[in-house]
Structure 1
Amino acid sequence: MRIAFFVNSIEGEATYYATTWLALAALARGHDVCYVTPGDFVLRSDDSLIVRATTLHGPKPKKPETLLNALKDERAKVRTIDIKEIDVLFLRNDPSEDAERRSWAAYAGVNFGHLAADRGVIVVNDPAGLAGAQNKLYLQGFPEVVRPTTLISRSIEEIRGFIDAHPDGVILKPLQGSGGKNVFKISSREEANLNQIFEAASGEGYLIAQTYLPEATAGDIRLFLMNGRPLERDGVHAALRRVPAKGDVRSNMHASGTPEAATVTPEILALAEKLRPKLVEDGMFLVGLDIVGDKILEINVFSPGALPEIAALYGVDFSEDIIIALENKQSIRRLYGKTLSNRTLATL
């Protein structure tokens, strides 16, 4: 099986990225791996879809550092191949990284992923589903009981009114973004620098204001779901607690959050089950939930991370389970051909 990982850029990949570990797991199971970036697609006049894929040559890397070095040095070769020579296109980019600097690239994976799926490639997560989940507004499509009370606006007066209505505090953040960038806790409308916070956070568009959950002081829990269900092996769940640095409301590890082991309670599993119907309907093969108390703060559908940290905490590398799931999808595709839609196949 040949798996193509779609990423923002090869230069930007890191050893601690989940994508790197997924690629290593695929190689370890005997699959071919290549990387594709937003500028690598070509739709030719004969309607064939071509990709300029960065491929590996020589011994298969077994460590993250070796893999990334191999992708970036002379051992890597750019091959022009028909998309039909790829079995699985794994969309693992973060659109928010490209939204400002090169907006054309932000949703290239989603757009060309549609074309790849039409040509028989298994594309995960399903590009049609991802097209409807391009920012944090996606969470609003799930039952009200699973999410904090929320306001989405660019009006500072609307936001001031929302703050007044929630005396325990409000979390303010961009609707489009990731990694904990421009996330602020507002205690009241009298916050001395509220105008400056508003200007900083709204520079990227709409703002999302959520009621502050006091349980957030202990951090949030990142829980992976695969095929709509919690990812688990031998009683161990693919989950961790992300503890914020002292004085910081953000638990993102890109923002100095610390990973710790997490207890996945029956209540958390019941919460995840409430999301399953829509995630399956949307073809969301692999997602990361950010959970505080009994609420979902975010549903990460593009490139959820933390697999290496989970492996370090529990000694279980769930990357292998994810690759095995892709192998199963390929077996189903061989049996059924294109009679099953990509969106259906993505979560089987």
Structure 2
Amino acid sequence: MKIAFVINQTHKEEAYFTTTSLALKALKRGHEVFYIGLADFYYDPEIVVGAHARQVSPHENIQDESDLLHVMRETEKSLVNLKHLDVLWLRFDAASEMIGRPWAASAGLQFAELAQREGVWVINNPEALTRASNKLYLENFDESIRPKTIVTRNYTDVQNFFDKNDEKIILKPLKGSGGKNVFLINKESAQNLKQTVEAIARDGYIIAQEYLPEASKGDLRFFLLDGQPIEIDGKYAAVRRVQPENEIRSNVHQGATIQVADIDEETLKVVKLVSEQLVKDGMYLVGLDIVGSKIMEINVFSPGALQQASEINGVDFMAAVIQDIEHKIHERKK
């Protein structure tokens, strides 16, 4: 199997990324791996869509994620016709390109759509990713699993929402990732509300959400594969992310710690309410951020923490994902 990962840029990949671990697992299972940056695509009428990719073949010198990245970076790029791939996997962070390369994410999705029309299996579906390019995607799902939310750039709107929600809300960019520019506004910090709104609004629209008291205990990152929970030996591909003291963000690189997630029936009911629509949208691998009985975000571009879920649960969720792709490719080729 030939599987290509579309990333932001080669030099920004890290050994702890979920993408790296998935690529390593594919190599260990005997597959060819390609790395394609968002600036690496190529179009002409003869091959339609290609890419200047770094190709890594299975060999004994690659033992871990650090070895993989070293070999990949030392490999020269070569032009690859994407029609000859089995899988084109979009694993880039669109939000991180907003300032420096605002053209990159949209161009990547357009090239991926061309590849999809040529018969390549593109995951997640680029047409749906275009619609899901910001946090408004969550508003397409059942109201019962969504926190109270407004989207605006108007300070008065935010002030009114703050007053209606017990003077305690969360503010964050409509298009953002990694916990950047996420703020808790309460009675003590209300004097900074106008400045906070203005700061976030410089880069676009603002999301204001009700504050959920359960958030003080962290959140769940819960993975779905083709609409279904990933479960091995009764253990789910999920982690509880617990933020440090005096921190509201549960992102790992913002200092949150990873704990084993206790998955109860309420969580599974919440998950079930979004699974059917995600399958319809072609969202193959998704990370849900869950607080209590509410989904705070649906991560469809490059959800992380799957490797941490594997490590903390002592099971190989990475292998389960690659095996499922193998099965689906086999079915597509029949």
Task: Report TM bin, short chain.
Answer: over 0.9
CA contact (8 A) 1:164 1:189 kept: no
Give the corresponding residue for 1:65: 66
Give the corresponding residue for 2:49: 49
Q: Does 1:38 align with 2:69?
A: no
Give the corresponding residue for 1:301: 300
CA–CA distance in 1 between the matches of 2:159 and 2:116? Answer: 45
Q: Note the alpha carbon deviations across 1:249-291, whole angstroms, 9 max, x for none.
A: 1011121111111101111001000001110110000000000
Equivalent position amino acid for 1:148 in 2: P
CA–CA distance in 2 between the matches of 1:102 and 1:60? Answer: 35
CA–CA distance in 1 between the matches of 2:198 and 2:63? Answer: 46
Give the corresponding residue for 1:344: none
CA–CA distance in 1 between the matches of 2:76 and 2:32? Answer: 13
CA–CA distance in 2 between the matches of 1:77 and 1:315? Answer: 36
- Aligned 1:62-101 pairs, distance under 5 A: 62-73=63-74, 76-101=75-100
Q: CA deviation at 1:47?
A: 5.5
Q: Cα RMSD over matched residues?
A: 1.3
CA–CA distance in 2 between the matches of 1:134 and 1:60? Answer: 38
Secondary structure of 1:193 counterpart: helix
Equivalent position amino acid for 1:72 in 2: R
CA–CA distance in 2 between the matches of 1:245 and 1:196? Answer: 25
Equivalent position amino acid for 2:162 in 1: I
Q: Residues 11 and 190 from structure 1, CA distance in 2 versus in 1: closer, same or farther, beyond 3 angstroms?
A: closer
- Aligned 1:13-32 pairs, distance under 5 A: 13-32=13-32
Q: CA deviation at 1:56?
A: 2.4
- Aligned 1:252-331 pairs, distance under 5 A: 252-331=251-330
Give the corresponding residue for 1:232: 231
Give the corresponding residue for 1:2: 2
Equivalent position amino acid for 1:213 in 2: L
Equivalent position amino acid for 1:201 in 2: I
Q: CA deviation at 1:140?
A: 0.4
Q: CA deviation at 1:46?
A: 2.9
CA–CA distance in 2 between the matches of 1:292 and 1:272? Answer: 12
Give the corresponding residue for 1:213: 212
CA–CA distance in 2 between the matches of 1:280 and 1:214? Answer: 31
Q: Note the alpha carbon deviations across 1:203-227, whole angstroms, 9 max, x for none.
A: 2200000000000000000000001
Secondary structure of 1:11 counterpart: helix
CA contact (8 A) 2:7 2:37 kept: yes
CA contact (8 A) 2:237 2:317 kept: yes
Q: Does 1:140 align with 2:139?
A: yes
Structure 2 unaligned runs (5+)?
A: none
Give the corresponding residue for 1:345: none
Q: CA deviation at 1:189?
A: 9.4
Secondary structure of 1:107 counterpart: helix
Aligned length: 333
Q: CA deviation at 1:59?
A: 3.8
Q: CA deviation at 1:190?
A: 6.8
Q: CA deviation at 1:332?
A: 1.7
CA contact (8 A) 2:47 2:81 kept: no
Q: Which one is further off, 192-201 or 222-231?
A: 192-201
Secondary structure of 1:221 counterpart: strand
CA–CA distance in 2 between the matches of 1:317 and 1:196? Answer: 46
CA–CA distance in 2 between the matches of 1:327 and 1:248? Answer: 41
Q: Note the alpha carbon deviations across 1:154-207, whole angstroms, 9 max, x for none.
A: 000000000000005110000000000000011149712212211222222000
Give the corresponding residue for 1:104: 103
CA contact (8 A) 2:61 2:67 kept: no
CA–CA distance in 2 between the matches of 1:271 and 1:197? Answer: 32
TM-score by length of 2: 0.97
TM-score by length of 1: 0.93
Q: CA deviation at 1:40?
A: 1.2
Secondary structure of 1:269 counterpart: helix
Secondary structure of 1:117 counterpart: helix
Q: CA deviation at 1:107?
A: 2.2
CA–CA distance in 1 between the matches of 2:108 and 2:196? Answer: 32
Equivalent position amino acid for 2:306 in 1: L
Q: State the percentage of identical aligned residues.
A: 44
Equivalent position amino acid for 2:5 in 1: F
Q: Residues 176 and 189 from structure 1, CA distance in 2 versus in 1: closer, same or farther, beyond 3 angstroms?
A: farther
CA–CA distance in 2 between the matches of 1:245 and 1:163? Answer: 25
Equivalent position amino acid for 1:289 in 2: L
CA–CA distance in 2 between the matches of 1:108 and 1:35? Answer: 17
Structure 1 unaligned runs (5+)?
A: 336-348
CA–CA distance in 2 between the matches of 1:101 and 1:11? Answer: 15
Secondary structure of 1:246 counterpart: coil
Q: Does 1:204 align with 2:203?
A: yes
CA–CA distance in 2 between the matches of 1:324 and 1:60? Answer: 23
